[in-house]
Structure formats: C-alpha cells, structure tokens
Structure 1
Amino acid sequence: MITTTRAIVFSSIKYGEADLIATCFTLTDGLKTYLLRGILKSKKGKLKTSYFQPLMQLEIVANHKNKGTLESIREAKVSYPYDSLHTQILKSSIVLFLAEILKNTIQEEESNEHLFQFLESSFQWLDTNETEPNFHILFLLKLTQFLGCYPDPSNAHFQYFNKAEGVFQESDPIDYCETGAHVKNFKRFFGINFDSLNDLKLTKSERSRVLNLVLDYYHLHLQGFKKPKSLLVLNQLFN
C-alpha cells in the first residue's frame, strides 16, 4: 500500500556497501523499518543520506506491505528543517540520547497521533530555543504518559518515591523506594512545560541523580529497557 505520511527518524544503520536500514516513527502506521537501497552511493536519487539523521522530521511516500518485513521509501523530503539540532554539540548529544531511548521504548506499529505530535513539537522546541540542560529529563517524564507508566504525583508531598508503583508515599516498606534531595528535585518536573525549564536550576550532580532515577524507573516499567550507550557522552558534555 502506497502511503504518504510524516515520519520521525529514530535510527539508521549501514547495510552492505550502499544501503541503509532506517527505523522511523510514522504518523499513519507507527513504527516502521525501511531498507533504503543504494542510498549511500546515489547522488541523484530522491533519497538523501542526510535525511535520515536521528530525529529528522520528514514527509515520505512509502510502500507499506505490513507483513513484518522491511518496507521501502519511494520519496522523502524534510518537513521541518532544523536550524541547530544537528549542528550544536550539546543539542546533538541530546538528540542521540533521546533517539536511542525512543528506539528502545516505542514499539507500536499503529497510528498514535498524540504521541507523534508530542515528539514533533518537543524537537521543534529544542531546535528553536537555547540549549536547556534539563530538557531531556522533562521529555522522559512526559514520554511516560504515552508509554502508559506516568508516575502519580497526587501525593508528592510525601518524601518517598516508590519506583515500582510510581507513587509517592509516607514510608519505605520495600527496596524500590527512594528519598532525598534527588526525589525533591524530581518532583519539580511535574506540572511544568518546556518553557518553564529556565526557572529550574540544578547542579550537574543534582541533574545526574534525577536522570538516573528516571532511567531506573524506565527500567522497572518497560520490559527490556537498557540505559542508553550515549548516556556517558551526554553526562560528560553537561558536566
């Protein structure tokens, strides 16, 4: 079935001498993986290697057979040209980190318009605003709303965060509870949007501890989740 759809690139890897395998999240069909034949050697084709950098926003004409095999793309064009996302080193490190997270967590092969719009608008915000070192933490928290495991902040006045249940509570009955300054800082991310991040000041140590708490939460709630390899680079740049 020939489909025209917007798509966000999660990853692309070289396959053979001239091909790429690209994983994209599409508006119409969710996650799709494409075999792009000859793209690394073609200079005049309708597909360009630069289109398939992480988190690129595209409009594609694709052949979706929906048989569990690699799909194909006939045409592609950039639907939203980034100004800074792939050229500023701090932003590009966030891009690699989030792209790795997304490929690891989003598996649905069906349309999810709300999730797609969240991804589009989030990356456009990151592109058009100054580098915000807490962006990825708020992004990961907001993403859990679409992954079905958003923590319940209704008792955020309690000091313990139960990572297994995703709730705040008065006491620490099990091993999965944490308390301390990093939990207090984690609470500060609830109920805010990206425009409010400039008011949320954290030291590099505080930021690292909150991020590790969020990644531990992902590990507990998402089967097969592993900490991204790009985390080390991200921490080094922001530190």
Structure 2
Amino acid sequence: MNSQNGFLLSYIKYGENDAVLHCFTEEDGFQSYFLKGIYAKRNKKKALLLPLSKLNFSLNPLKGNGIQTISRFEMVKSNDIYSDIRCNSVVFFVSDFLNQNLRHENKNHNIFFCLEEFIDELENQNYQSHLIFLIKILKIQGVAPLINEGNYLDPETGTFSPHLTHQIFTEEISTLWKAILSIENPYLIKVHSTFRKDFLDSLLVYYHYHITDFKIPASLEVIQQIFE
C-alpha cells in the first residue's frame, strides 16, 4: 500500500455507492482512482470531495490493468474558499479547466506547486488569480509568448507584433500579458474589472493555438457571469 498527495479535479458516481476520482497527483501527474462506498449513507467523507481539495490517498496495490483503488483518504489542509461564492466559482472553473486539459500530463512538480500557490492566493481573496495561474501553466509547459518590442501579442505565433493581428489582443490586453510574463510574482498585478472578460477570452484563444486538443471548460459561462 502506498500513499499519494493529489488535488481533486473531478469525480463521477459509479454504481450505487462508488465513485471514480480524477486527480492531479504530486508523484504521478493526472490519475484516476476508484473509491468504494463513498455514497453509502453512513459515509461522511463525501463532504471532502470538493474541487481542488488537496487530499492524501492510501492506495491498494494495482492488480491487472484496472485503475488503483483508494483504501483511505484524508484532506491535507482545510480552507474557507468554498464558502465564498467568487472563490467557489474560480475553483470550479480551474478544476474543470485542468480536468479537461491535463489528462495526458505525467509527473510535474512545477504544476503541482503552482496549484498550491494558486490555492494560497484564493485563500487571500485574490479573485483574479485564475487569470495569472493560466499564464503560469503556459510558462511551465514551455509555450508562453516570447517577449519582444512589439505592442500587440500575436496568439498564433506567440510573439509580440508591431501591428494588431487578432481583435481580442488589443494594446491594453497585450500589455497585460507582457507585464504578467515579465514580473517575478505576477500575482501582484491587478487586472482591472473592465478587462477581465476580454483577458480571459484572450487566454482561451492562446490555449487553442498552443495546447493540443484544448477544450474550453463548460464552467466558463458561470465564471463570466460572476465577474461581469
């Protein structure tokens, strides 16, 4: 039996009482686990199955070609982000985003650390932290834009151009990208509310060009409504 820390991205009910959990783990990257009896009436641990909750799993040895079964799990650290409607919407969006787009990601300590840092920002009520987090993921995956003298980010080439190449990537939006890419701690940068929707749209456009099989999360509409 081995132990594993991981962030819960999603889960689906399986049969009457069981579930399959999709997680991003510290040691093995994206993993799916089978969890028996979580929907049983007397099982109070279903309350721990919150998006992006950091859990510690004890896993039974893998038999055959199936998925590993969780024998025990605990929450590593509790926090109050789920009681704040804005934090909650950000958490659902990011967990949905990662669940769609990290399916083939193996062990990556940088992404795992980046998730821990992102949760810390949310605990401090940084409601725009998801915008910064998505750029940090691009940097980790080696597809972030290259900074040069241009004033307009070209999302297709990942470079800055002297001319507008895409309607969303205005000079204001492009300047935000450049500032976030340049500063040591980008969470210090404030994205004004008037730019947040367009900035998020620009992130999704960029991901579309540079991440293979990129999928827009279904929760996008919810987070856009929360921050209108």
Common topology (TM > 0.5)? yes
Number of residue equivalences: 227
Matched, 1:238 2:227: yes
Of residues 106, 110, 114, the one that matches 1:110 is 106
Q: Which residue of 1 aligns with 2:25?
A: 26
Of residues 65, 69, 94, the one that matches 2:66 is 69
- Cα distance, 1:66–1:139 mapped onto 2, change above 3 Å: farther
Asked if the contact 2:5–2:56 (Cα under 8 Å) also holds between the matched residues in 1, the reply is: yes
Give, in whole Å, the separation in 2 of the partners of 1:202 and 1:64: 50
- Cα distance, 1:20–1:228 mapped onto 2, change above 3 Å: same
Question: What is the letter of the counterpart of residue 93 of structure 2?
Answer: F
Q: Which residue of 2 aligns with 1:213?
A: 202
Q: Which residue of 1 aligns with 2:9?
A: 10
Give, in whole Å, the separation in 1 of the partners of 2:54 and 2:215: 25
Asked if the contact 2:38–2:45 (Cα under 8 Å) also holds between the matched residues in 1, the reply is: yes
Matched, 1:189 2:189: no
- Cα distance, 1:56–1:68 mapped onto 2, change above 3 Å: farther
Residues 132-168 of structure 1 show CA distances to partners (whole Å, capped at 9, x for unaligned) of 3321110100011222312212x1x312212122111
Question: 137-146 or 181-190, which moves further after superposition?
Answer: 181-190
In structure 1, runs of 5+ residues without a counterpart are none
Give, in whole Å, the separation in 2 of the partners of 1:163 and 1:66: 45
Question: What is the letter of the counterpart of residue 74 of structure 1?
Answer: S
Give, in whole Å, the separation in 2 of the partners of 1:227 and 1:149: 18
Shift of 1:53: 1.2
Question: What is the letter of the counterpart of residue 9 of structure 1?
Answer: L
Shift of 1:51: 2.1
SS in 2 for 1:65: coil
- Cα distance, 1:183–1:237 mapped onto 2, change above 3 Å: same
- Cα distance, 1:194–1:86 mapped onto 2, change above 3 Å: farther
Q: Which residue of 2 aligns with 1:203?
A: 193
Question: What is the letter of the counterpart of residue 43 of structure 1?
Answer: R
The alignment-based identity, stated in percent, is 27
Question: 93-102 or 162-171, which moves further after superposition?
Answer: 162-171
Q: Could you list the structure 1 runs, at least 4 aligned residues long, displaced by more than 6 angstroms after superposition.
A: 174-177
Asked if the contact 1:163–1:177 (Cα under 8 Å) also holds between the matched residues in 2, the reply is: no
Shift of 1:10: 0.6
In structure 2, runs of 5+ residues without a counterpart are none
Shift of 1:70: 2.4
Give, in whole Å, the separation in 1 of the partners of 2:170 and 2:54: 39
Asked if the contact 1:162–1:177 (Cα under 8 Å) also holds between the matched residues in 2, the reply is: no
Asked if the contact 1:135–1:194 (Cα under 8 Å) also holds between the matched residues in 2, the reply is: no
Shift of 1:236: 0.8
Q: Which residue of 1 aligns with 2:133?
A: 139
Of residues 142, 146, 156, the one that matches 1:152 is 146
- Cα distance, 1:201–1:147 mapped onto 2, change above 3 Å: closer
- Cα distance, 1:201–1:23 mapped onto 2, change above 3 Å: closer
- Cα distance, 1:67–1:126 mapped onto 2, change above 3 Å: farther
Question: What is the letter of the counterpart of residue 139 of structure 2?
Answer: Q
Give, in whole Å, the separation in 2 of the partners of 1:201 and 1:76: 37
Give, in whole Å, the separation in 1 of the partners of 2:103 and 2:145: 21
Give, in whole Å, the separation in 2 of the partners of 1:134 and 1:109: 25
Question: What is the letter of the counterpart of residue 138 of structure 1?
Answer: I
